[in-house]
Amino acid sequence: MAPICRCNRFTAEDFGDAARRGARTVEGAIKRLGGSPECGRCMMKAREAMDAARQRAEEAE
């Protein structure tokens, strides 16, 4: 899967995992994944990936 965060090379799946493990913000997810927030260009796509993962997790409950 192509990374959506080019600075840290994190994929949508990485952001989804971070959201399911409790990350509330994109910055929080990047830190949780061991990276550092840089340019911020991935914000929108990362947030979408996190929202989608949270929604899927809720639906699965």
List the beta bridge partners of residue 5. Answer: 10
Touching ligand FES, residues 1-60 (CB under 6 A): 5-8, 37-42
Q: Report phi then psi at 11, rounded to 5.
A: -95, 170
Cβ distance to ligand FES smaller for residue 23 or 42: 42
User: Which of 42/50 has CB closer to ligand FES?
Assistant: 42
CA distances from 17 to 8, 34, 50 (A): 15, 13, 8
Contacts with ligand FES by CB under 6 A: the residue count is 10
Give the binding site for ligand FES (CB under 6 A). Answer: 5-8, 37-42
